[in-house]
Amino acid sequence: MSLKDELVRKVEAQLEAWEKEADSLKAQAEAKEADAESEKASAELRQSASDALNSIDEKISQGREKLEQLKQSSEDSVESFRSQVSDLIDPDRKS
């Protein structure tokens, strides 16, 4: 498997994981909101869920952009995407 193919596979897998996480967060928010006893708790829950979803949505957007760039790159230039993809998938890793 070429480096490009490997990186594409990793980014696609990460996007899928983030999309599942976003779906899970949405389902949790809906379930908790249905159980919320007060307007304040409900508002705080909505804000927390909104913040988490915005963060995941931003990651998904960035991931899709990098994936498209990676798919359009040549095998010769794909090495430059390695650190970008690694940073996207694991932002806490040490370079």
pLDDT per residue rounded down to tens, the chain (95 residues): 788 888 889 889 999 999 999 999 888 887 777 766 666 667 777 788 889 889 989 989 988 998 898 888 888 777 777 777 777 777 666 54
- For the chain, give every domain's residue range: 3-89
pLDDT one-digit tens code per residue, 5-25: 888 898 899 999 999 999 998
- What span, in angstroms and rounded, lies between the C-alpha atoms of 82 and 25? 29
- What span, in angstroms and rounded, lies between the C-alpha atoms of 46 and 40? 10
Per the confidence metrics, is the pTM higher than 0.75?
A: no
Sequence-distant contacts of 29-38: CB under 8 A, at least 24 apart: 29/53
